[in-house]
Chain A
Amino acid sequence: MSGRLLLFLLLAPAAIAQLPTARLDGLFPQGGRIGSEVEITIEGSDLEGVKELLFDHPGLKATPVEGTKFKLTIAADVPAGLHEVRVSGRYGISTSAVFVAGKLLEAKDNGANRSRAAAMPLTLPVTVNGICEADAADFYRFTATKDQRITVDCAAQRIDSPLSAVLSLSNADGQEIAARRISMDRDPAFDFTAPAEGEYTLGIHDLTWRGGSPYHYRLTVSSPQESPALPPPLPLAAVVTPLPAKAAAEEKEPNDAATSPQNLTFPADVAGRLDEDWFSFTVDKARTVVAEVHSHRLGEDSDPVMVVHKVTREAKGEEKSSQLSEFDDTAGPAGAERFRTGTRDPSGSIACEPGVTYRIMVTDRFYSGSPYRLVLREAKPDFQVLAMPESPVTDGKTVQRWTSLLRRRGSTVINVALLRRDGFDEPVTLKVSGLPAGVSAQEITLPSTISAGVIILQSTPEVKPWAGRIQITGHAGSLTHPAREVTPRWSVGDTGAERLDMRLSTDGFVLAVTDAEAAPLAVEAPEPRVYESALAGSIELPVKFIRDASLKGFKGEWEAALSGLPGLRQRKPVKLSADAKEAKLVLDLKRKDGNEFQPGTFTCYVTARGTIKWKGDEKAKEKELVEAAWSAPIQIKIEPSPVALTVPSPAVIAPGGKAEITLKVERRFGFNEAVTVELAGPKGVTAEKLTISKDAKEAKLTISAAADAAQGTQQATLNAKCSWNGQEIPWPVKFNLEVKP
């Protein structure tokens, strides 16, 4: 498909300043009947010049009609269910939207059905495509015979609509006989049997009466057999740990007491309903068993918790049960919270001994009675990579549906979340491939303790137009996994107030490159090397800025800041003058302002951000737009202290004797202060606290061993401490100590 995209972009008319990026938020109608032809309207931003709709199935073909209208043919062989579509236009290849291929007759909200009296008539079975308007409800009416069983299913969040739909069914007297207004995590649906022959009215609106173009719905009124089987809008946490559709076993009651557990054969996958359920299992050999509950991540409003007991036999044969652990919520990777991979489902590892009985109690803190699956499996440390293109306006609150578009000398970022499974703690290197000439992305390595990062794509000034798919892969030892693209179901202006919901895109990462315009701003990273200091020290990073002279310029001040370093919580942007060409950014490694740096080697980058004045074309009104640029990654190494203490290892001492150890002191990064050391262990070996004066390059530590000190080689620790830049820095120095006569 990339060839087709490339062709399109090459043929695209020369564009004016292309700061916008194509964003497809939805289609209307957002579905159609298989084997039919339907006129659809595309909705979103910066969709100028869109002539082509790119579906994930060749049986879905659209031809332009006029403006944003297209004629869509849905071939008979198109599978029913959700499909993805992107559009390609002047401003790149859009984010993907969802389109549903349905089996029933389809109808469209007639727009005049805003009261019960004006309810739009429906002939069942039918799927109605509608849009909820603000402060209004849509009404539909249909007739049913007595005892006719009817299902009503409202797809909204499943089709990337932020609508929190409320459904209400009334009889001919206007009495409400069924309502679903409480489902906000999931789309509402209900199943009712008509109590009498007559006309029924169905109302639909948003819980808080929001509305407008993104508030789409597909309302299916049918018999249970004809109901659409769209998958629920599962959280990412479920998508990344998929389960077989059917569990291998069912929960068997009574298993609600420790004394009557249900026996499972390892490995196990059992389905049940949350009350208080007990299970027991044994393993044939020593194994690390992973126990997982899946419920909240399956879209249930549950909060499962899991308690593990080990059952042993006393000498007299009496059973003794002791609690090993309690597993509760599972957090997503730190720093990648917006991927929403955390879940209230518990999971944990159990080091199991052969022949020992283990019991697991599963219950729900919310008493929801929801379905769940308990999975017991062998630990298999591994990882997955999720990635999400990020818009320049993204800050702590805003998340936009976004796609990667590079202009000349441009930059764009893709956020990455690393999902480490079963204790996997290897460093993971992320590489980008499939890039066209003139586009680069440095590989980055996420250390063992880090699971969030960014990939920065940069283009040269000479880059040529291109469109296609790129690949992001994670590598750790022999393991290699492609990254999967994550898309927000809808854009969110304030994540503190609106729910951010994510799904996977199945058709891979797209990148568009255009030479029609240069990016208004570029940041040049300092000379590539490892920049070093210690905790409480600082690193100076000289960066350069390049601006596009053709733009009218930045409005007032703009700013640059360091980002991406783990532990850097308080970004301190440097304000830049409008014509600044370079700046020195200082990375202050003190633990203050919420910053909590850790020793290690990491990657960071420089972001420049400002408001620019921009006109779409000469006739257009001038707009103010936020624009940002990213530098290439910068390697940062943080030492635990500005002092390197070397201890002879092993140091040797006789029981009941004394020994003098010579410590070598190397001061770095301009540090020249006193250092104190204290010996901690092993048992029976002691030393007076020693202060190493400033300037000293060597010091002698006298240690004493008690007569009964344990003989042999053991690990000892020297707890060193110094003060630098007003901050106390403690660090341990480990060495071997041999006690022998």
Chain B
Amino acid sequence: MKRFLFLTTFLALPAAYAETKLELHTGIPGGKPAVLKGKDASLQLVATAVPSDKAPFDVTRSVTWTVEPASVLTISKTGVATPLTDGTATVIATSDGTKATATINVTGAASWRTASFTHEIVPLFTKYGCNGGGCHGKSEGQNGFKLSLLGFEPGEDYEHLVFESRGRRLFPAAPENSLLMLKATGEMPHGGGARMERGTPDYLALVRWMEQGAPPGNPDDPHPVSISVFPPERLLQPESTQQLQVTAQYSDDSFRDITTSVQYDSAAKDMLEVSSTGLVKAAKLTGDAAVMIRYKEMAGVFRATIPLGAPMGEFPPERNFIDRHVFAKLRTLGLPPSAVCDDATFLRRVTLDIAGRVPTTTEAESFAADKNPDKRTALVDRLLASTDYAEYFAGKWSALLRNKRGNSPARTTYAFHGWLRESLNSNKPYDQFVREILAASGSISGNPATGWYRAVTKSQDQLQDVAQVFCGQRLQCAQCHHHPYEKWSQQDYYGFAAFFSTVARKPADEPGEEAVFNQWRDAFALNPKTQKNVKPTPLGGQVLALKPQDDPRRSLASWLTAPENPFFAKMLVNRYWKHFFGRGLVEPEDDMRVTNPATNPELMDGLAHHFTESKFNLKALVRSICLSSTYQLSSLPNEHNATDRQNFSRFFPRRLPAEVLLDAIDTVTGIPTKFAGQPAGARAVALPDDSFNAGNYFLTVFGRPDNTSACECERSQDSSLAQSLHLLNSKGLQEKLSGAEGRAAALAKDKAAPEDRIRRVFLTLNARTPTAEETKKALDYVTAREGKPAAWEDLIWALINSKEFLFNH
């Protein structure tokens, strides 16, 4: 602990070192002078100390600010410059003899600028939460006053504010007495309470706008086209601060400081707090955290890493790029990883994760006996080559791609599941896999990849599923209004919807089946807001020029699977990362926004690059993950990483999924579950669709999904009392334990020494041999009941109900 205190003190005062530089950030790129235009202009400056050997840190509030000539502008202790007279001044920040300067031009200092309603007034409603979904931004408004959600329809807002109710909300002759201001300050009863104080800059900005006659603004006014946040990321010591600066670039190429106009939200309030002026305060907790910054339809993010600073000790071997990125992050955080797990744990872990089953007794014995130093690599390769891998992952994709039976004939879901299984078994490149699904035409019988179109029939669901499953973009919000946390507008939504506008169906050869095809016509979707047709447009891309006979879905598939697509590879690697670690680099794994950054962006980029470079080789991705030391870390925490969930400093145990657990119980009890219409011995993980859930309480209670959504969150991994009771004393489990053909009965009849039988029980259930203590306890128990199957039933029952069995650890 002493060492830790010393380190933080040391880090807090690096400016004392001569090699520390001071940098002054104005938000203007290219070293050009900053501009303060108008009496109400302001500019947040950020001073940063940059030690040569340590991470940079914020010194905005500790430097000494001077201005030359002082008559041009003034600067506050918090680094905010405001104009005095027109002219050019140099701002100097000084700290321990180190200086940094910036030039600022002041123009129009004598007069107030005319505020733009759209670009300056509406963002205030967002900043103060007036137009949020819980207040006036609701579709029906609040107490008779409606604002568009998050200000995405400023024209409507202007109408409602200025003209509705005979203009009673504004009082330009005495703006302070306007209903708007009296409500906003709480001087009149207001359901939302007092949102702002008299005299604050934002209050005055509203008042001035009314004094100027509440102008609607000119459509040709320069408008903001992008925002940038400085700094975008920082290593923050616990309990330190960081001043943010947010700048908007306008359509006329000018820049304006909007630090006090944006809305800040901390994604982890227990780690980071943020003020309305952009001052971030780190708490004592360590790890990664982000502040989301929203301005009109634009969003930005500030990411902070708060290091623990624990002694690093020796790291496990760096086996590949995954370890390089993870360990680098852990070193930055000062968060030492756990050691690499033992062979038995690895065997069980990787067999469960790749093949969806527990290792067999033989596998456990032979892996333990194997002296080959590369046996872990050989194991991963063997599992990936096995059909079990394809079966397990086909189940995963079957749920995501909504292979739901419904009223369809069984052959439709069976065929699609079979196609998924074969695609995975043959390691079909992921881009080809997606292209075949997305641009699928024909009948399920002839082309089972059309199974996704069988299940997802509305173009609205098709576009939303594709955006979510393959791009990690949740577009649902943009169907009715601009996406609140992303850049997607309704235009983007319907431009994406247009890709599916020509999907048509006709009866297929098999009864109850429809064939999917592209109807020859111009592809478009109607934007209900503009009442104009939108042509197919990739997310963030340009409108495509397609001929009536072109299949827009093929164009979409080409765009989506191109190596340069910004979403495609990242979404998949994040999804697979979550499969193996229980947590995505982005969480939820399919909600990849600027404002929801990855906990380790370098790792995310590295995985995506590796995946793209491998030509979208899924098995190669799984191999890289499973062969990394990161994946092989023990789940046992050291003294520092017990609470770490997002930096992967140890393996985080997780309950076995419903099907895997059922199969595991079937294996260890020796009594397989019979599924109607499936061959004897069929594994639960290999079931082709959701229709087996209804007849199997185990699968339901442990959360097997019903394949109704494109989100993996449909699978419940929660624990419940019902689950515990089911494992403890359900009839089904008892029958498996006591079955005449079961393992317990066989063990009771077995003539081998009880120690040997106990050893085999542990190998079968936990893929390891028992400890001496475990052997003794088990021996005492079974020898007291020698020859009775119940003794072995009890032993298996007890082990099944242990966390070691129920969890992948």
Contact = CB atoms under 8 A, between A and B. Distances in A.
Interface of A: 114-115, 135-137, 164, 166, 170, 173-176, 179, 181-182, 184-185, 205, 207-209, 300-303, 329, 344, 363, 365-368, 495-500
Nearest to A366: B442
A184 B441 contact: no
10 contacts: A175-B387, A181-B415, A182-B419, A184-B415, A184-B445, A184-B510, A207-B411, A207-B418, A300-B446, A366-B446
Given A137-B679, A182-B419, A368-B441, 11 more contacts: A115-B681, A135-B678, A175-B386, A181-B418, A181-B422, A208-B411, A301-B443, A301-B445, A366-B442, A366-B515, A497-B511
A209 B678 contact: yes
A329 B506 CA distance: 10
B390 A207 contact: no
Contacts of A365: 441, 517-518
Interface of B: 385-387, 390, 409-411, 414-415, 418-419, 422, 425, 439, 441-443, 445-448, 506, 509-512, 515, 517-518, 549, 551, 677-681
A176 B387 contact: yes
A329 B507 CA distance: 11
Given A176-B387, A176-B390, A182-B415, A135 B680 contact: yes
Given A175-B387, A497-B512, A368 B447 contact: yes
A232 to B, nearest CB: 14
A602 to B, nearest CB: 28
A209 B517 contact: no
A301 B414 CA distance: 18
A367 B443 CA distance: 12
A330 to B, nearest CB: 13
Contacts of A205: 679
Contacts of B386: 173-175
A495 B390 contact: no
A300 B445 CA distance: 11
Contact of A209 (B385, B390, B443, B677): B677
A499 B510 contact: yes
Contacts of A136: 679-680
B679 A209 contact: yes
Contact of A207 (B414, B425, B509, B517): B414
Nearest to B446: A301
A365 B505 CA distance: 11
A301 B509 CA distance: 9
B677 A301 contact: no
A303 B422 contact: no
Nearest to A203: B679
Nearest to B676: A135
Contacts of A209: 677-679
A279 B387 CA distance: 47
A118 B439 CA distance: 42
A70 B385 CA distance: 48
Nearest to A166: B418
A363 B517 CA distance: 12
B425 A179 contact: yes
Contacts of A115: 681
Most buried by B among A166, A176, A185: A176
B509 A185 contact: yes
Contacts of B411: 164, 184, 207-208
Contacts of B414: 207-208
Contacts of B511: 495-500
A496 to B, nearest CB: 5
Nearest to A340: B509
Contacts of A368: 441-442, 446-447
3 closest Cβ contacts across the A-B interface?
Answer: A301-B446, A366-B442, A184-B445
Nearest to A184: B445
Contacts of A300: 446
Contacts of A344: 506
A176 B425 CA distance: 8
Nearest to B441: A366
A366 B422 CA distance: 21
B410 A208 contact: yes
Nearest to A179: B422
Contacts of B385: 173, 175
B293 to A, nearest CB: 46
A208 B551 CA distance: 33
A182 B439 CA distance: 18
Contact of A496 (B442, B512, B679): B512
Nearest to A328: B506
A499 to B, nearest CB: 5
A94 to B, nearest CB: 26
Given A176-B425, A185-B445, A207 B415 contact: yes
A563 B515 CA distance: 33
B436 to A, nearest CB: 11
Nearest to A133: B679
Contacts of A302: 442, 446
A176 B424 CA distance: 11
A236 to B, nearest CB: 12
